[in-house]
Amino acid sequence: MEKLKDLLRSNDLKATHQRIAILECIDKFGHINIDAIYDYICEKYPTMSKATVYRNINELLSYDIIEEIKLPHKNKKYEIKKVPHIHLLCKRCSKVEDLFLETKPFFNSITSHTGFKIDHSFIVIDGTCRACQQS
């Protein structure tokens, strides 16, 4: 809570209730889309406008406080910015799992094949999570 306020202020963003609520919500759910953020926060702040969610999401993106995740055939989701990682999307339970895995060998192979200079990667793996395989 105070940590979130500091995070906003260190980026010259005012720590409004709405912004804090949006960040707390994203943090709580891990990976979440606009509508779900809006619905969740409306419980606490019924006057909150959806435009405020969009406006703040874009603001937070531009300061690299959050980042956008594009999933196949789904709406965009957002998460608190972390170190680079991979997303595992379960088609059964729809959960998005973070995987922090060493990608250097894979990236080196890409660069040596193509000469492409890599900045970022966006890796989504579709399949069935361990829990869903057992049920």
Q: Which residues are at the interface with DNA (CB under 7 A)?
A: 5, 8-9, 12-19, 34-35, 45, 47-52, 54-56, 58-59, 75-76
Q: Nearest 5 degrees, angle CA 59-CA 95-CA 123?
A: 65
**Residue 10 interaction partner, one of Mn ion, its own copies, DNA, none, beta carbon < 5-8 Å per kind:** none
Site string for its own copies, 3-42 (x = CB under 8 A): ----------------------------------------
Q: Which residue type does 85 have?
A: H
- Minimal CA–CA distance to 131: which of 99, 87, 93? 93
91 lies in the site for Zn ion, by CB under 5 A:
no
C-beta pairs of 54-62 under 8 Å, 24+ apart in sequence: 56/18, 56/19, 56/22, 57/22, 59/13, 60/19, 60/22, 60/23
Q: Which residue type does 70 have?
A: K
**Residue 19 interaction partner, one of Zn ion, DNA, its own copies, none, beta carbon < 5-8 Å per kind:** DNA
54 lies in the site for its own copies, by CB under 8 A:
no
Give me the least distance between CB of 30 and its own copies, in Å please: 16
For its own copies, the binding residue among 29, 34, 85, 128 (CB under 8 A) is 128
CB of 83 within 8 A of CB of 67? no
Count of residues binding Zn ion (CB under 5 A)?
Answer: 5
Give me the least distance between CB of 35 and DNA, in Å please: 6
Distance in angstroms (rounded) separating the CA atoms of residues 86 and 90: 13
